[in-house]
Structure 1
Amino acid sequence: MKSHANKLAVAVAACSLSLTSLSQAQQLEEVVVTAAKVEASIQDTPIAVSAFTQDQLDAQLINDASAMQFSVPNLNITKGNFTSQDIRIRGIGSGAVGTFGDTGVGIHVNGIYQVATRIFETQFLDTERVETLRGPQGTLYGRNTTGGVINVITAKADPSEFSASLDGTVGNYGATQARFHVNSPLSDTLALRIAGMSLERDGFTENEFTGNDVDDRSLWSGRLSLTWDAGDDTQVNFMYSKFEEDDSRMRSQKQACNRDPDAILGCLPGNPTYNTANGGGIADSLLASIGTINTNVQGILAQAAQLGIGNPANLALGANAAAGVTNFPGTFLSDNNPDDRRVVNMDYEPTYKAEEEMFQLQISHDAGDLSFNWSTGFTDTFFSSTEDYEKGVATGNFQPTLDSLVDLGNATALSGGEYQALLCGLAGVPAAACGIPGQTDTDALGAATGLAALAPFMVESVPGSGAALWAGNSALLGGYGAGIPVLMPDGTVINTSTQFGADESYGSNEGWSHEFRIQSNYDGNLNFLLGGMMLDYESRNRYVVRNAGLSLPGQILPINPAVFPAPANLANPHDEVNPHMWGYENDTRRYELDAKAIFGELYWDVNQDLRLTFGARYSDETKKSKQRTIYVTFADLPPLDSVNNAYGFPEYDQDEFTWKFNATYNMGEDTLVYGTLSSSFKSGGVNPISVDDDLADPAAGGDPANLGFAPEFVDAFELGLKTTFMDGAAQFNGAFFYYDYKDMQQSKIVSVTSLNQNSDAEITGVEGEFRWAATENLELTANFGWVNAEIGEYDTVDTANPNARGTTEGVTSVNGVNFITPYVDASGNTVPVDYSRCDQPAPFPCAGYRQSLKGNQIALTPEFNYNIGLIYRSEMAGMPLAMQTNYFWQDKMYTTNFNTPGTEIEDWGMWNANARLMGEDWYAEVWVRNILDDDNITGGYLTSSVSSLFTNQFILEPRTYGLSIGMRF
């Protein structure tokens, strides 16, 4: 904090010295927005809104949506773990994870609502402006805007004149970018506008294992716009856009873990470090189970041979058991995760593909006192992202154990009689009495000796075959000398003797959106806006994990054939009837969202200075899904259902009424104050843990409330000021806000799926935006935000810290699912399970101790943030020269609501600068982003206990710099 304060003091002092020597100021340029669905000056709009034209975006080096957070107060943007963006305004964002979860920040393109747009993955291109509306917008914008709205408004074709531009950029990391636009009038009333861009860049991250750079970019986008002035009062606008990306972009840049020496949790809570997980997950647990069975079966067959029972050749199996090669070593025997945030060690390199097509048609007609607007849009998107799931190179060699399995497959299974003789021999029962009814109960002997559970693996399944499930089954085990076959997400099969694999996040989405509005423009003091909207959206999404640790158990352990007679389909791994089952797949085969609303606002001009606005919206939403989770072959979720191939069909319906009251008062020609009371909601849904209301699911915890999550509601109060002073040379816009946040949605991963829950919260904050054209040469900008976002009374289990002590005492892992059990402390005392702190009463298993979140800071919400910028305009060789710099800083924040040291993100800053020289019809610019080359973390994702509780981190770009040259026609 001290170095940060010094930086700030120097910056402020430099500004003060510069400003005292400057003379006459100039007026600021007016910014026009459509935040209230009509064009108006931002200074006359009673909403906290920030807006940037394309020129302003370029000048402030805001090349994509993520960079907007450096210039908009109380806006935070980070990547999500499953190829999405988590956008938060004033502490409100996504919250819920899963098919039924929605974002709290509405994303619009030209005012048309988008459910799953990829527009924020590309660069801003030929935009008229980008608007960020802060605070609930529950009437005009409606659907799920508890946090706010981001509206991207593309440049429209202009029939009045021809214009064109072309620019190119070269930079470090081999970056090249080209952009263009051509606006061509086709007649006095018809115009065509075409724009496009392409970007190529080398990777930001070095992969030690291959020596390659990953996390690169290769993308392009294009847009075609038509404008037809169909009459003096009617305009028709059509827009088509296309976006494609194909590169090695990473969903997350780094994986953090505090290595667990006890190999129970895998990763311990605490300050995050870049270690590798040690046990704790289901893969290591299942491999350990296979090793135990393998060791015991080979030892027993060798012991039987010593007793003269079975094939004498089985005696050789004892050497495997004695040498210990029958057990699998740990996955990561040593830590080889580099400490550098820009260096990884991965044996699988990422792939990233994304596409989007968007069609929009908008018709507006002015009929004098009434204006009519109709908008419709269709968006079709696709993405597929694969990554090394563990982001590491396993150091445990499985091949010796695999070779021992081959030996077992080449051995001879015991016959039923030989098995009975073995039981009797081990129990000391005379051979004459062995197997005689009434004399010897061999079933009881099997149970007593523990061999009954092993019998399927070593006793021939068909009399005379000499083959059991494992022993003598060379058809099953004979091929493992070449390693474990793993079906990769790209459809190829690899053979590996280490924990090798990858995951895939995939989505295919399409949606229609329609909105119709009528707005009055009467001369009297009453006017209105009335509208309706309809949204029809469908998607298919899946998340897949494939690796050796999941593949081998699926291949050689017994399966349940009641649902899927065949365990794996290599030709069509995502088949509904016969899917590939040697891994993990969460499959939402179909998700349907049908949303409708009617909305309106009434405007009453009480006098020439006071306007009252009354707004209301009625929303009706229906969500339906066809989904299932397949886990290895024997852990199918939801409960097995042979009729529907394990698919469930959850549904969710909701209708809500939201409202708004606003009073706006003009205190003078240049000062506006407003107060707003409003409500908004974000719909709830069904948790993916069980579509059949299975309270026995570990994630449900026996609580019916966990089967779904409730809608969240925000009742908001905002008091704002917008003022222009110093003869138009300075502006200050500020707001105070208070939210009563009810049933805030929050998520965590329990077992193998997301568990979304609800808790109350309160949010209080202030923010301000300041601009000052000190002279015709110098402009100063500054904004700040303060948010106090506190969670209310709420107790829940932290999966990363099940015993609430940050240790593994009393924690037991069963196939990667953690439970609290009695343990003996350092003093020799037995510590029982405290069921008063568990989610379930005895005798149910205790998955962890609840912890209070009361007073904790809402995740991904820094308390303070600010931006300071300077623009200096001068000349060079008689040509205009503009030099600009911005410094942004945000306070520490947390990646989860538990606010533990392991979830803390330290405060960080971002410093950018550029200088642009402008000729008559050309420009040249040098620029640098992230001058200090900081590796800033924007968010983190804690994975499940079955994956050893590692945390994926999302990291901003390093220092980049370059030269841009452009022409205007």
Structure 2
Amino acid sequence: MTSSKSTFRPLTKLTKLSLAILCATTVNSYADETAAKELEEVVVVAQKRAQSIQDVPVTISAYDGDFLESLGIGELDALSDITPGLVIQEQSPNNPGFVIRGITSDSGSSQSSPRVSIYYNGVDVSRSRGSYFELFDVEGIEVVKGPQATLFGTAASVGAISVATRKPEQDFSAQIKASVGNFAANNVSGFVTGGSDLVQGRVAFTYRARDGFIENIAGDSNSQSAGGFVQEDMHALEHVSYRPSLRITPNNDVTIDLVYTYEKNDDSGTSFKNGLYAPTGGDTSPYSFVEMSGSPLSEQVFGKEDLGVDRTVNDINLTANWNVNDNLTVTSITAQRSFDSLEVFDADGTQAWFLEFAEEAEGDQFSQELRAVYTQDKLTSIFGASYFSEDGSQAVPFSTEESIFLNCLGVLNSGVPCINSDGSVNVLTPVLTGGLASVLPYSLEFTNFGENTAYSAFADVSYKVTDALELTAGLRYVKEEKRSGYKSDAPNSVLTQAPLFTVDTAGETFYAEADYDDWLPRFNALYEINSATNVYATISKGRRSEVLEVSSTTNTQGAPAISVTEVPSELIWNYETGIKGKALQSTLDYSLAVFYQNYSNFQVSLQDEDGVAYSADAGSATNLGLEAEVRALLSDEFEVFANAAYLDAEIDDDSNNGQLAGNTFRLQPEWTFSTGLFYGTEISSSLNLTSSLIYSYRTDVFFEPENAPISGLDISQEGFGLMSARLGIASSANWSVSLFANNLLDEEYLVDAGNTGGGFGNPTFVAGAPRMFGLEFSMDFGGSNF
């Protein structure tokens, strides 16, 4: 992870102080005015050892904890605003999507594998429903682009995001930080650390809550469910997380870190706004109020009365480092992570009892890695082995009223709409049953299971052929054992005398097993043009594992039978070259990378005619792009940065690639761009002023791989830009106060569109957050942590 003296912080005393003030750190006087004006070196550990970012022959964006706190970044999706080629989509903590270089990783199925490795304290936590976590008391983040399977594992088929938390320190220090904002937002976080030569401890915590920003009128007097259950406004959140950690240092050569993280999310849910039918007294704009009443049998069918997310994550990590001698370091990482998430959502986004779903995802993961790094003269070698096991499930219960479901799908040809112009819902059951019933509740549930075990061995060797040229070759062998399962409890509908969708498995759980293996190499070359400029080239192979998908069908006798689909592994060859350097007496640094990626068996997630997601092979695809970053120290008081990424990517326009041929990838912008300015100055002998302004822009994207309208509605987002700002004052007495605003210009934009409702011909649209602003106060105690 990035060194504590890295990204976007110059060495000059004034600017170093200015950025630190935003985090309310202890400040120094400006005694040393003769300090050289230059940007600090960025140190990363992407290659399992500390290196200057300039000496690493891959494309990396790196941020230390000080920088993240100076911008108020506490959520993963905010990294999108400052990182070229990265888009993080967050519908909810249960459903994040990670996009690197236009390639999305967001499947919630237990039977498919991620494409982007999310590393937390050196451990892969990439399973979608368990990968979200709060960013607090963070040491640093590295975003590594391109296949990184050799050192990061097979989930890093297109890249990796690695987060490291701050570790205990011997000297006592503590911090408390609190903020308030619009939508009744409040946040309290802090840490305390200290210890002895032998044992040091640290406890960090965060609590973050906010009301919803999309009004939900369900249950109100002006709704169709007046007097019924009152739903919360959408996108409200309540997150609590704490992290006790212990460091044991029996001698100078051995360090043992034990870190436990607990996280609890209780959110009101996502505003899936129907694009065809308006709420009572409203319209179909994604940014206006909704009338999402959910199922009247929610407690009975889903186990949760209200819409929203109830999610718990437990993570424990034991890392031991042993410096055997000056040349050899051995590292062991043992980790256990579990998550349990229940999300109840109104997939049709209307007042109708139509598409009411929940998702209950559970997962238990265990991993063990042992590696050795040997360095001598011109040779650096890394050898290791790892074991990973995962046992997960994804249950999807469903609730509807039969006549509403069939009428809203247009199956009944009733001549009456799903929802009338006054907002009332047509319930046709009394007519269809001759008055025998007023409503016909219907529910079903299907579940997929995944048991995955992976064994890996890897080696990576770098050799300095000359003082200027270093060559690297790496190889990982991976063997996977997969067991996929599926069961469905889908009773017959009264009106159709058949399940409304899916095939009932008659109480049986179907299973299939398969083993897979592969070799994943990388080859790098780094050439030092001069002491300030390096160029590099890399060839690497990435792999997204085969999908062993099990579901149900009917045999020739009409009885339930197992259906097994094997989607071949998605293979990526990445060819990349770039330059990294410093200029103007180290007051400016820059990087530029150009890459070409070739995909075979490109995996996509589609929906069948019943709206059920499934994996498919879309054939070949190519991705050509460039990424650039620059930062500059303009004076003691000003620092700026800018970055940009360009992508020309699509599923190849080849008839062999079927209906998706020629389409761009889901959530893939052609251009992303961001720029920022930091300014800080002394305003008195004891007070300092600091500020930052960040602007980010991305071009239009499609939200579905089909790149096509659904029911006549456009499923895309036009290009848009977001701006954030902070203005703070800090005292030499170790306190600070600052004003902040995110989405300062109150831009309207979509987070997603289509969604589950789109599979049933009722596309829904999810609004992004409006302007969020507030006031933050922080106070430090004891020594400085930074």
TM-score normalised by L of structure 1: 0.66
| The 10-residue stretch of structure 1 (194-203 or 53-62) with the greater mean CA deviation from structure 2 | 53-62
Q: 2:361 aligns with which of 498, 501, 507?
A: 507
Number of aligned residue pairs: give it: 679
Match for residue 412 of structure 2?
none
Residues in 2 aligned to 1:624 and 1:74: alpha-carbon distance in whole angstroms: 34
Residues 714 and 174 (structure 1), Cα distance of their counterparts in 2 relative to 1, 3 Å cut: same
Deviation at 1:115, TM superposition (A): 3.7
Deviation at 1:866, TM superposition (A): 0.4
Match for residue 53 of structure 2?
42
> SS where residue 585 of structure 2 aligns?
coil
Match for residue 322 of structure 2?
365
Residues in 1 aligned to 2:760 and 2:128: alpha-carbon distance in whole angstroms: 32
Residues in 2 aligned to 1:874 and 1:35: alpha-carbon distance in whole angstroms: 34
Match for residue 761 of structure 2?
949
- What amino acid sits opposite 1:175 in the alignment? A
Residues in 1 aligned to 2:116 and 2:556: alpha-carbon distance in whole angstroms: 32
Q: 1:324-378, CA deviations, whole angstroms, 9 ceiling, x for partnerless residues? A: xxxxxxxx9x996542514111223523211111100001111122210000100
- What amino acid sits opposite 2:357 in the alignment? D
> SS where residue 170 of structure 1 aligns?
strand
Match for residue 547 of structure 1?
400
Match for residue 218 of structure 2?
209
Match for residue 893 of structure 1?
701
Larger % of helix: which? 1
Match for residue 859 of structure 1?
666
Q: 2:544 aligns with which of 672, 678, 682?
A: 682
Q: 2:206 aligns with which of 197, 213, 228?
A: 197
Deviation at 1:119, TM superposition (A): 7.0
| The 10-residue stretch of structure 1 (162-171 or 687-696) with the greater mean CA deviation from structure 2 | 687-696
**Matching of residue 964 in structure 1 with residue 772 in structure 2:** no
- What amino acid sits opposite 2:510 in the alignment? G
> SS where residue 669 of structure 2 aligns?
coil
Contact 1:82 1:505 in 2 (8 A): no
Residues in 1 aligned to 2:757 and 2:205: alpha-carbon distance in whole angstroms: 41
- What amino acid sits opposite 2:60 in the alignment? V
Deviation at 1:546, TM superposition (A): 0.8
Contact 2:528 2:535 in 1 (8 A): yes
Contact 2:354 2:405 in 1 (8 A): no
> SS where residue 54 of structure 2 aligns?
helix
Residues 119 and 342 (structure 1), Cα distance of their counterparts in 2 relative to 1, 3 Å cut: farther
Contact 2:150 2:475 in 1 (8 A): yes
Residues in 1 aligned to 2:626 and 2:560: alpha-carbon distance in whole angstroms: 42
Match for residue 299 of structure 1?
none
Residues in 2 aligned to 1:601 and 1:925: alpha-carbon distance in whole angstroms: 46
- What amino acid sits opposite 2:272 in the alignment? K
**Matching of residue 872 in structure 1 with residue 679 in structure 2:** yes
Residues in 1 aligned to 2:452 and 2:152: alpha-carbon distance in whole angstroms: 17
Contact 1:25 1:775 in 2 (8 A): no
| Superposed counterparts of 1:55-204, under 5 Å | 55-79=66-90, 83-94=94-105, 98-116=109-127, 121-159=132-170, 161-185=171-195, 187-204=196-213
Match for residue 836 of structure 1?
none
> SS where residue 870 of structure 1 aligns?
strand
Contact 2:316 2:336 in 1 (8 A): yes
Match for residue 834 of structure 1?
none
Residues 112 and 552 (structure 1), Cα distance of their counterparts in 2 relative to 1, 3 Å cut: closer
> SS where residue 943 of structure 1 aligns?
helix
- Unaligned runs of at least 5 residues, structure 2: 1-34, 221-231, 295-305, 407-439, 493-497, 782-786
- What amino acid sits opposite 1:903 in the alignment? I
Residues 541 and 694 (structure 1), Cα distance of their counterparts in 2 relative to 1, 3 Å cut: farther
Residues in 1 aligned to 2:509 and 2:268: alpha-carbon distance in whole angstroms: 33
| Superposed counterparts of 1:387-398, under 5 Å | 387-394=345-352
Deviation at 1:61, TM superposition (A): 3.1
Residues in 1 aligned to 2:766 and 2:177: alpha-carbon distance in whole angstroms: 30
Residues 342 and 188 (structure 1), Cα distance of their counterparts in 2 relative to 1, 3 Å cut: farther
Contact 1:940 1:951 in 2 (8 A): yes
Match for residue 564 of structure 1?
none
Contact 1:105 1:146 in 2 (8 A): yes
Match for residue 353 of structure 1?
310
**Matching of residue 379 in structure 1 with residue 337 in structure 2:** yes
Q: 1:669 aligns with which of 531, 535, 546?
A: 531
> SS where residue 620 of structure 2 aligns?
strand
Identity of aligned residues (%): 25
Residues in 1 aligned to 2:94 and 2:656: alpha-carbon distance in whole angstroms: 27
Residues in 2 aligned to 1:894 and 1:522: alpha-carbon distance in whole angstroms: 50
- What amino acid sits opposite 1:173 in the alignment? F
Residues 241 and 70 (structure 1), Cα distance of their counterparts in 2 relative to 1, 3 Å cut: same
Residues 99 and 952 (structure 1), Cα distance of their counterparts in 2 relative to 1, 3 Å cut: farther
Residues 761 and 106 (structure 1), Cα distance of their counterparts in 2 relative to 1, 3 Å cut: same
Residues in 2 aligned to 1:335 and 1:114: alpha-carbon distance in whole angstroms: 44
Residues 121 and 692 (structure 1), Cα distance of their counterparts in 2 relative to 1, 3 Å cut: same
Contact 2:245 2:260 in 1 (8 A): yes
Match for residue 648 of structure 1?
510
- What amino acid sits opposite 2:175 in the alignment? S
> SS where residue 47 of structure 1 aligns?
coil
Deviation at 1:735, TM superposition (A): 0.6
| Superposed counterparts of 1:451-850, under 5 Å | 499=353, 502-523=356-377, 525-549=378-402, 582-588=442-448, 590-633=449-492, 634-635=498-499, 642=506, 645-690=507-552, 707-752=565-610, 753-758=612-617, 759-793=619-653
Q: 1:571-620, CA deviations, whole angstroms, 9 ceiling, x for partnerless residues? A: xxxxxxxxx994231213x4211011101101111011111000000011
Root mean square deviation of aligned Cα: 2.9
> SS where residue 764 of structure 1 aligns?
strand
> SS where residue 707 of structure 1 aligns?
strand
Contact 1:552 1:582 in 2 (8 A): no
Match for residue 222 of structure 1?
242
- What amino acid sits opposite 1:376 in the alignment? T
Q: 1:672-724, CA deviations, whole angstroms, 9 ceiling, x for partnerless residues? A: 11100110101021334437899999999xxx9x9331110110111011101
Q: 1:925 aligns with which of 729, 738, 745?
A: 738
Residues in 1 aligned to 2:628 and 2:515: alpha-carbon distance in whole angstroms: 39
Contact 2:129 2:361 in 1 (8 A): no
- What amino acid sits opposite 1:128 in the alignment? E
TM-score normalised by L of structure 2: 0.81
Deviation at 1:734, TM superposition (A): 1.3
Larger % of strand: which? 2
**Matching of residue 237 in structure 1 with residue 249 in structure 2:** no
Residues 197 and 149 (structure 1), Cα distance of their counterparts in 2 relative to 1, 3 Å cut: same
Residues in 1 aligned to 2:355 and 2:532: alpha-carbon distance in whole angstroms: 62
